Amino acid sequence: MEKLEDAIKKWLTANRTTGTLFLQRLVQERSIRGEESKAQAIIIEKLRQIGLQLDIWEIGSKELTSHPIFSSDRKEFRGNPNVVGIWKGAGNGRSMILNGHIDVVPEGDLDEWENDPYSGTIRDGKLYGRGATDMKGGTVSLLLAIEAIKNCGIKLKGDVIFQSVIEEESGGAGTLAAVLRGYKADGAIIPEPTNMKLFPKQQGSMWFRIKVKGRSAHGGTRYEGVSAIEKMIFLIKELQKLEMSRNLKVNDPLYEETPIPIPINIGKFYSGQWPSSVPDVAVIEGRMGVAPNETMENAEKEMEACLAKLAKKDLWFAENPPVIEWFGGRWQPGSLDTSHTLIQSVSRSFQKIKGTEPVIEASPWGTDGGILSSTGQTPVVVFGPGVTEAAHDINEYIVLDDVFEAAEVIALTLLDWCGVENKGGENHRRN
């Protein structure tokens, strides 16, 4: 086995430039929601080159959109397919899903970026660009792992199912579609940016939109109106208290190092049409974290109860209750026992490469792992290169060393998990 592992290390070292340029090319394609097709085309080209069996399809079937956990406000999925590449094993091995999402979040304030968000600039061992960390870097680790094994002439026993899905950032319709198409396995790795930690538990999360009324008036006599902005600020303070009380209840040791295990994030705030008018409507949109052992329904109820209590704290809210809508993204929570064989397998591979035990924590964000584990009945570990701080941030970047190290850990895990056919054989020559 050590011979195989050495061969993989050598192949990854030898192919570092090619792999880096491939990641750069992938980052250079702006695959924000609804514009994923060109980046997917690059993936498809690579899968053909590796020689995997392709399954490319446009999601959006009735079965998908009527599924109880389907959640998306996207009207049109055509033209931006899900992509799966299958490497059938020789048999009698455990199967593994390797899942990455191709969609990236918007760029934020363009003026803040040092380089164009899609430059793919490489500097001091880092590759910059929207999606570098979340999660094209991780996806490239997956592809490098498969490529390395295949190019070392190794044949696995279990199936490897690589998935490049859309819609992760908006609630996971892409992965749900893959599950409904029949893709399940004995284990799954999702290389979201865990900074090489192992996350056996998935924080769930869901989007909300809260609308608050005011009463408009001329700004010069603003005391004759009621500012929806001021009322919304009042409401936000209450959400901050709710966040605090919910997090005080989290006692899972895996969250020990996490400042706010299940945050309530306000991502958008918009109100008003005219500087000289008192705004009559304010809207916020945000994301509520759901603990791995909590139901989505329970989290919803807590938020709704918090809003209902506003009526007692402010007369205006008694007469004008805020309206909440659970829209768009919903990521199911998920939980795998830390003693599961999948965690052990990845941990062993990690130990071999890094020489230390991996850090095992709970995921601070929702991933497609929730859907894969709940609906797909597939044990999931989230493990990948890149730091969470960089995800969704300006000047997003990934450390290239981590991409290749993650690829090596994943490759070794595949050898261990899926099993190797003719382990001692002569067929490990490079081809």
Catalytic residue among 103, 107, 294, 416: 103
Query: Does residue number 131 form part of the binding site for a copy of itself (CB under 8 A)?
Result: no
Phi, psi of 71 (to 5 degrees): -150, 115
User: What gap in Å lies between CA 295 and CA 292, rounded to an integer?
Assistant: 8
Stretch that binds a copy of itself, among 2-10, 13-21, 145-153, 222-230 (CB under 8 A): 222-230
Cα–Cα nearest to 340, from 94, 101, 3, 169: 94
Stretch that binds a copy of itself, among 42-50, 249-257, 360-368, 420-428 (CB under 8 A): 360-368
Residues 228-287 interacting with a copy of itself (rule: CB under 8 A): 229-230, 233, 236, 259-260, 263, 265-282, 285-287
In order, the DSSP letters of 5-71 are HHHHHHHHHHTHHHHHHHHHHHHHS--BTT--HHHHHHHHHHHHHHTPEEEEE----HHHHTSTT--
Number of residues that bind a copy of itself (CB under 8 A): 66
Query: Does residue number 153 form part of the binding site for a copy of itself (CB under 8 A)?
Result: no
Pair type for strands 160-165 and 334-335: unpaired
- Shortest separation between residue 88's beta carbon and a copy of itself, angstroms: 36
Query: Does residue number 311 form part of the binding site for a copy of itself (CB under 8 A)?
Result: no
Nearer to a copy of itself, 118 or 208 (CB): 208
Nearer to a copy of itself, 63 or 73 (CB): 73
Q: Is 257 tagged catalytic? A: no
Q: Residue 227 gets which letter from DSSP?
A: -
Query: Does residue number 321 form part of the binding site for a copy of itself (CB under 8 A)?
Result: no
- Shortest separation between residue 133's beta carbon and a copy of itself, angstroms: 10
Instruction: Decide: residue 262, CB within 10 A, 0-12 exposed, 13-18 middle, 19+ buried.
Output: buried
User: Sign of torsion, CA 391 392 393 396?
Assistant: positive
Task: Let me know: does 347 contact 210? Beta carbons within 8 Å.
Answer: no
Phi, psi of 174 (to 5 degrees): -65, -50
Strand partners, 204: 290
- Shortest separation between residue 17's beta carbon and a copy of itself, angstroms: 30
Query: Does residue number 294 form part of the binding site for a copy of itself (CB under 8 A)?
Result: no
- Cα distances from 428 to residues 227, 298, 424, in angstroms, run 71, 53, 9
Task: Let me know: does 418 contact 158? Beta carbons within 8 Å.
Answer: yes
User: What gap in Å lies between CA 208 and CA 354, rounded to an integer?
Assistant: 41
- HSE-up of 49 (CA within 13 Å, CB side)? 11
CA 340, chain centre distance (Å): 22
Q: Is 401 tagged catalytic? A: no
Query: Does residue number 364 form part of the binding site for a copy of itself (CB under 8 A)?
Result: yes
Task: Let me know: does 145 contact 51? Beta carbons within 8 Å.
Answer: no
- Shortest separation between residue 143's beta carbon and a copy of itself, angstroms: 23
Q: Residue 219 gets which letter from DSSP?
A: G
Stretch that binds a copy of itself, among 64-72, 77-85, 361-369, 402-410 (CB under 8 A): 361-369
Phi, psi of 336 (to 5 degrees): -120, 135
Query: Does residue number 205 form part of the binding site for a copy of itself (CB under 8 A)?
Result: yes
Query: Does residue number 195 form part of the binding site for a copy of itself (CB under 8 A)?
Result: no
Which x/- pattern over 49-88 shows residues binding a copy of itself (rule: CB under 8 A)?
Answer: ----------------------------------------
- Shortest separation between residue 170's beta carbon and a copy of itself, angstroms: 9
Task: Let me know: does 204 contact 271? Beta carbons within 8 Å.
Answer: no
Residue from 60, 153, 225, 321 in contact with a copy of itself (CB under 8 A): 225
Taking every pair of C-alpha atoms in the chain, what is the biggest distance, in angstroms?
A: 86
Task: Let me know: does 33 contact 169? Beta carbons within 8 Å.
Answer: yes
- Shortest separation between residue 215's beta carbon and a copy of itself, angstroms: 7
User: What gap in Å lies between CA 190 and CA 165, rounded to an integer?
Assistant: 11
Catalytic residue among 168, 169, 368, 405: 168
Residue from 3, 48, 123, 218 in contact with a copy of itself (CB under 8 A): 218
- Shortest separation between residue 385's beta carbon and a copy of itself, angstroms: 15
Residues 380-399 interacting with a copy of itself (rule: CB under 8 A): 388-389, 391-394
Catalytic residue annotation:
103, 168
Which parts of this chain interact with a copy of itself (CB under 8 A)? 105-106, 108-109, 112, 134, 169, 203, 205, 207-209, 213, 215-225, 227, 229-230, 233, 236, 259-260, 263, 265-282, 285-287, 289, 328-329, 363-366, 388-389, 391-394
